[in-house]
Amino acid sequence: MNNIKRTSAHQKRQYLINKLISFGIYKKNDKHLYEWTLCELEAEYQNIEPKELEISSILQLKL
């Protein structure tokens, strides 16, 4: 069971790192994403995602 949780946490970290990189975030305060905790990654993603969705919807309205 612990192995499943560890794998799931690792996959979630990797997903968040990839998403943040796609938004142009590679490091913050001289700390690379791979050095961040899962909680730090989740918090940053939650801060970025609404802004990106807002920008996307504005761009779609202009098209």
Q: What is the pLDDT along the chain (63 residues), one digit of tens a residue?
A: 677 777 888 999 999 999 999 888 898 889 999 999 999 999 999 988 766 655 555 555 555
Angstrom CA distances, 16 to 5, 27, 39, 58, stand at 16, 13, 10, 24
* Count of other CB atoms within 10 angstroms of residue 57: 9
pLDDT of residue 5: 76
Tokens 């700390």 sit on residue: 31
Locate 49 and state its tokens. 């995602």
In one letter, which amino acid is 4? I
pLDDT of residue 54: 57
pLDDT of residue 17: 95
In one letter, which amino acid is 14? Q
